[in-house]
Structure 1
Amino acid sequence: MGRARRQPPRRRPARSLRSAAARARVVALKFRLGPRAALPEGTLAEFVVEGVTWPVLAGVIDGEIIATAGVCPHEDVRLAGGYLEDGCLTCPGHGYTFDLRTGACAHDPSLVLRRYRVSEVAGEIWV
């Protein structure tokens, strides 16, 4: 009689280092940018948010309050000096252009500029 074969241990699928609960906590954080009057019309201003390593760009574009990450997802270049035209922001570092309404990159579809949900409460802007 032969010996029974030993089965290899079952492998579990890899899990993200950040659990769903951790992601939910991150999404739940809100930061005050300031009064609505501080947001520029037709352009973006850079805001430094305590506890966030990168700046936030925010402004009013075509009547909509927009807030995005202040660095390019391509090479982490600050976007504050970028060129803004027709709702698109061009990175001053390498010329990548991002649609501010969707975050989509015109040069590389795999890159997306992070957008933040914006709310206005009692005249104050929160992201």
Structure 2
Amino acid sequence: MAANPELREQLEQAVAANKVLLLMKGTPEMPRCGFSMRTVGILEQMGVEYGAIDVLPMMGPLREVTAELSDWQTFPQLYVDGSLVGGCDLVEEMYESGELAETLGVPQPEGEPHTQVPQSADPGVPTQSPPLQIET
């Protein structure tokens, strides 16, 4: 059975409209799981502007769409330039190796990524706020 075509189109549009897009549980200001919090912390540490979509209100349908779109069903999911980079573990590995900075086109920051809720991050770093909305 094909995933929801309207939801798929909305997600494809969001991925295309944002150089960096994070599908996450919660929002950048209030992540709702540790993996999402760690991924947000890395993006904040890197000073990257990004869009974010809270997947919790539509977790089941979004899992089906992302399974078709990118063969990935867990969250968070980081997309850069329209392509899936991966989930938290891959983002952390790429951060540590410097590959994420290269992919994002930014300098590699010094030190460990933030692992706290990003209110401790630089308030001058723009994120997408409020989070992007996808209607089901």
Q: TM-score range by the shorter chain?
A: under 0.3
Q: What is the TM-score normalised by the length of structure 1? A: 0.25
Point out the structure with the larger helix share.
2
Point out the structure with the larger strand share.
1
